[in-house]
Amino acid sequence: MMNSNEIKEMERSILDRFLRYVRIDTQSNHHNPEKPTTPGQWNLLKMLKKELHEIGLKDIDLDQNGYLIARIPSTLPAGRKAPVIGFMAHVDTAADMSGKNVNPQIIEHYDGNDIPLGGEWVLSSDTNPELLKYQGQTLITTDGTTLLGADDKAGAAEIMAAAEYLFHHPEIEHGEIELIFTPDEETGTGMDLFPVSKLHARCCYTMDGGERGTVDAECFNAAKVVITFTGVMYHLGSARGRMVNAVTMAGAFLSLLPQAESPEATDGRYGYYCPLEITGSAESAQLTLYLRDFEIEEIDRRRKVVESIAAVLENIYQGGKISVDFKMQYLNMREYIRKDPLVMEKLEEAAANIGIIVSNEIIRGGTDGARLCAMGIPTPNIFTGGHNYHSRYEWAALPVMTEAARLIGELIVLWGKEDE
Ligand SMILES: [Zn+2]
């Protein structure tokens, strides 16, 4: 649908926007219960709001919790209505690496060699062979002192550039489109206050993935288990036969977890137990355990294992008590997305229209899309062209960012042909 001049123009728009967005420090902070968790996120949200206004959109809403929702009205002839679809990106960056004074480096006509970032840091094509796919093209890297913030400002720039193009081409027929920007994705609590009742969308796409062509429509099922060990304390000099040590019980519990089912021993579709935090004393100790698996039956099985280890240890440590508190955190989004097969069919067709074959990946973690799925809106995740997230080695391929924005446009056109 776009000619080569329009594609060039879109690429320029994406690059400008991206460079502007990454310079704003939007690192989130999972220790702060306020929403958003850091004031820098407001700066980017307000910038996006202003830019949406400049594009010409009228329906723009930034609420008190930092959720920005804007709408592009339908261009369909009177009497026709297509399903509403949405596109979403998060404005924060991860706490793993500083996002302050990001100084992006633009590498034009990349020559295939190692890229010096600054100081002692080098982005090597040996350890990053994907770089070699972009010889002759434009890459964006860090200067070695911060992360880049392609996660997820690449997604934000792509959505904004696609919205700008579409709004200025009212001859392109499409239904109503929702653009959604959220804070605090990296803290895992970014969707807690999401005003889902405001959305009209039948489905959404998060623009928050990585390498060209990759799409995520599956993530872990996740549960958190807090195990409390209660001991029986006596003076250590006269403890024989009657003291029960909660620390010892917790240690015994940990030693019984299968080592082969840990994050460090699994990949692909294998799930795990992960002891994440332990606190306490001989009187009382608490262990936090994460259970993760793509199949819900395997979460149930591991829950039973945890409960039976607790029961056995209570028998061994007579007088000690062990309580198990189990909570589901999120579910595999596959089940929600499968209920509306058009969501993935349209995505594959739109990608094919711009010469991309979609490859389905699985996320060994969660996403905001998974949270939105659980709220009733199927939401797979699409590549943005970024790599090596949360690190000084983060980089993005500009041509792929442009393809991601074109994919947004294609999706909008294809959904516009459906009847609501
Ligand atoms: Zn992200």
Rounded distance from Cα 6 to ligand 1 centre (Å): 28
Rounded distance from Cα 158 to ligand 1 centre (Å): 14
Rounded distance from Cα 151 to ligand 1 centre (Å): 4
Rounded distance from Cα 394 to ligand 1 centre (Å): 12
pLDDT at 389: 95
CA pair distance 240, 245, nearest whole angstrom: 11
For residue 279, the surrounding DSSP H or E stretch is: strand 272-280
Residues facing residue 303 across a β-bridge: none
Rounded distance from Cα 94 to ligand 1 centre (Å): 8
Q: Which long-range contacts (CB under 8 A, 24 or more apart) does 36-44 make?
A: 36/65, 36/66, 36/92, 36/183, 36/184, 37/92, 37/183, 37/184, 37/187, 38/92, 40/99, 41/66, 41/91, 41/92, 41/183, 41/184, 42/66, 44/91, 44/153, 44/156
Rounded distance from Cα 386 to ligand 1 centre (Å): 10
Rounded distance from Cα 420 to ligand 1 centre (Å): 30
Using CA atoms in the order 342, 182, 100, 11, what is the torsion angle rounded to 10 degrees?
40
pLDDT at 335: 86
**CA–CA distances in Å: residue 54 to residues 163, 223, 291:** 11, 44, 46
CA pair distance 29, 39, nearest whole angstrom: 10
Q: Can you say how many angstroms the Cα of residue 324 is from the centroid of all Cα atoms in its chain?
A: 29
**Helix/strand/coil for 112:** coil
Predicted confidence pLDDT, tens digits, the chain (420 residues): 689 999 999 999 999 999 999 999 999 998 899 999 999 999 999 999 999 999 999 999 999 999 999 999 999 999 999 999 999 999 999 998 999 999 999 999 999 999 999 889 999 999 999 999 999 999 999 999 999 999 999 999 999 999 999 999 999 999 999 999 999 999 988 999 999 999 999 999 999 999 999 999 999 999 999 999 999 999 999 999 999 999 999 999 999 999 999 999 999 999 999 999 999 999 999 999 999 999 999 999 999 999 999 999 999 999 999 999 999 988 899 989 999 999 999 999 999 999 999 999 998 887 889 899 999 999 999 999 999 999 999 999 999 999 999 999 999 999 999 998
Q: Which residues are catalytic?
A: 92, 185
pLDDT at 2: 86
Helices 40-55 and 4-22: crossing angle in degrees, nearest 10, is 150
Average pLDDT, the chain: 96
Query: DSSP characters for 172-184?
Result: S----EEEEEES-
Contacts of 359 (CB under 8 A, 6+ apart): 213, 214, 215
Rounded distance from Cα 184 to ligand 1 centre (Å): 10
CA pair distance 381, 387, nearest whole angstrom: 15
pLDDT at 329: 84
pLDDT at 67: 98
Tell me the CB-side half-sphere exposure of residue 409, using CA atoms within 13 A: 26
Rounded distance from Cα 239 to ligand 1 centre (Å): 53
Domains of the chain in start order, with CATH, are: 4-219+332-416 (3.40.630.10), 221-330 (3.30.70.360)
Q: For residue 73, what is the DSSP state? A: P
Closest-CA residue to 314 (of 259, 239, 252, 240): 252
